[in-house]
Chain A
């Protein structure tokens, strides 16, 4: 936070600000000292805010025309696609927007993993982020059920049935979730209600996420603590605003390409068949962004243990600040961690791939190895690496390479070559 006191220039402004310091907040946000070496991987926070707002706005319009009833939901979606003015556009933005949201959040999370943004003093930002991610998955799953196509119905059946793995009370919980003895109208209406609620919970958590960020300030590619404000920082406005804006526009081009030219490629064809409880689709597959966890779920032969493995795969991330024992944040100065990082990226992509494949034969074997490695990375590699790894020297400040005379010039050069190669 900028420590200097802010006083509005106008009388009215001062009067209002004394009663509710909104202008002080606005001043804080524009002046907010940001490390000047942030690269484009740091623009995804802004992009994610855009995604959330887009989903809320398009979702509101869709909710005006959608009918949450088992007999009418599918039809009302077709009504939106055909008869509502630009309804097809709103729906395609919303449907592809979910995929774009997850694409951005995965980049955001993996950026954090690479540069150690989750480490002290930013653990709370990280944990709030994980809660947001969990809520996003819930919202996406609930939303996918609403069109009441075959994948909606059977996806809902499979996922809710996971709760039946809980000993003793499992079956009861599933009946309670469904509001009956199978996925049916009561399930749809409650899913719609919750799908409408969750984005606003996410919005609240995003405010906390940003608030928590503004206490220590941004991490940066070299992962060092910096003085704020100083030569190492730039004010958020205009420097970061314009850079985030530029990156957002690039992102929107990709987004627009999907919406206008391949709007259904990320969805499953079966979801254009109206839900039918009597016909099970050949393969029940979740959306691409849930596939790695689906692969973990299926790689464990026991249902309960599978569910536990899947949940642990997400929750283990919350413990990450304490599992990673290295004092150095950025992977730039951690040669070994950097290797393991990319192995993890590959591992998750492999999990996503086998998650889309039938759980049999070679695919199942690969899924099991990849699942084991996933946990190995967090439970063994990270804690051990913190003690064993020989890190390269870290510069004292961001401006150091420019001012010269650095005792760690080699490391700094290396960092630069990383950035610009």
Chain B
């Protein structure tokens, strides 16, 4: 048994180093309680729906969401809009389709099977409209940033006047959580910017939390299934391990060597 402690220690050491190396250049991010953290974490359905609203009304004018389809909004483990709601959301967008029988491209209302409409035709158009900076696609954004959800949540609230001595070019803003502190996105959130249909007070903090929750879901749409399955898998493995341990003891009891 002592050997297991040694093995565990070695494993801990290995990954301790790894965590440590990831922790370089750490900034203290704003903290909040995320409902999806931990082995039993689930998304807050209402927060996801509000987060979608913030994304739609604020972020989506510049940031694409190219790996998400409108049908995903209905799926289990997500915002779980009703089919009618999601159809209405999809239909509110015009989708370029075609070519039709005459060889013409045409516009039609969106369907559940459509991908989220992109704000710009292409990357160059996005850059041209944003002073040369490309607003990154948001689908897996929280996984693509070292600090994850805490980083996005903090960044949205991290706008400040630049400290003395820091000069900013036109179209560049100061954000204390941004890598290098200079960001080309201006402060987007202000109190009461959106009107939540469930009556929640749309404070900056609330909107930042809701939209970040939504982005966590877009990045990990199967998070709830993963957590549920993980718990079952690990409980199953532990039970099996215990059974095998006693079988092993029994089998090895035939010879004098300890196992």
Contact = CB atoms under 8 A, between A and B. Distances in A.
B168 interface: no
B241 A249 contact: yes
Nearest to A82: B221
B11 A249 contact: no
A263 B222 CA distance: 12
Contacts of B241: 246, 249-250, 253
Contacts of B11: 103, 254
B13 A421 contact: no
Given A40-B3, A260-B227, A352 B17 contact: yes
Interface string A243-259: 10110011011101101
Interface in B164-218: 179
B179 A282 contact: yes
Given A40-B7, A239-B252, A260-B234, A349 B17 contact: yes
A409 to B, nearest CB: 17
Contact of A270 (B21, B144, B222, B231): B144
A266 B11 CA distance: 13
Given A257-B234, A282-B179, A242 B2 contact: no
A246 B17 contact: no
A49 interface: no
A40 B18 CA distance: 25
Contacts of A246: 241, 244-245, 248
A171 B139 CA distance: 39
A41 B247 CA distance: 20
Interface in B137-185: 139-140, 143-146, 148, 179
A169 interface: no
Contact of A249 (B13, B140, B229, B244): B244
A345 to B, nearest CB: 9
* Residue from B24, B72, B145, B226 with most neighbouring chain A CB atoms (10 Å): B226
Contacts of A26: none
Given A243-B259, A349-B17, A353-B17, A269 B244 contact: no
A420 B179 contact: no
B233 to A, nearest CB: 5
B14 interface: yes
A89 B229 contact: yes
B229 A260 contact: yes
A107 interface: yes
Contacts of B226: 88-89, 92, 260, 263
A12 interface: no
B237 A253 contact: yes
A273 B234 contact: no
A37 interface: yes
- How extensive is the interface on chain B, given as a class? 35 or more
Interface residues of A, number: 51
Contacts, number: 122
B39 interface: yes
B144 A266 contact: no
A402 B237 contact: no
Nearest to A78: B67
Nearest to A269: B146
Interface string B239-257: 0110011011001100111
B4 A250 contact: yes
B13 A266 contact: no
Contacts of B18: 265-266, 288, 356
B27 interface: no
B132 interface: no
B136 interface: yes
B131 interface: no
Given A239-B252, A353-B21, A273 B144 contact: yes
Contacts of B244: 242, 245-246, 249
A305 B7 CA distance: 36
Contact of B7 (A79, A107, A257, A260): A107
Interface in A139-165: none
A278 to B, nearest CB: 10
Contact of A356 (B15, B21, B140, B259): B21
B21 A88 contact: no
B230 interface: yes
8 contacts: A82-B221, A246-B244, A250-B4, A259-B230, A272-B219, A352-B17, A353-B17, A356-B21
Interface of A: 36-37, 39-41, 75, 78-79, 81-82, 88-89, 92, 103, 107, 234, 238-239, 242-243, 245-246, 249-250, 252-254, 256-257, 259-261, 263-266, 269-270, 272-273, 282, 288, 291, 349, 352-353, 356-357, 402, 420-421
What 10 A-B pairs are tightest by C-beta distance, nearest first? A260-B230, A356-B21, A272-B144, A249-B241, A272-B143, A40-B3, A78-B67, A242-B248, A36-B257, A272-B140
Given A88-B220, A353-B21, 11 more contacts: A79-B67, A234-B257, A242-B251, A245-B244, A249-B237, A257-B230, A260-B227, A264-B143, A270-B144, A288-B18, A349-B13
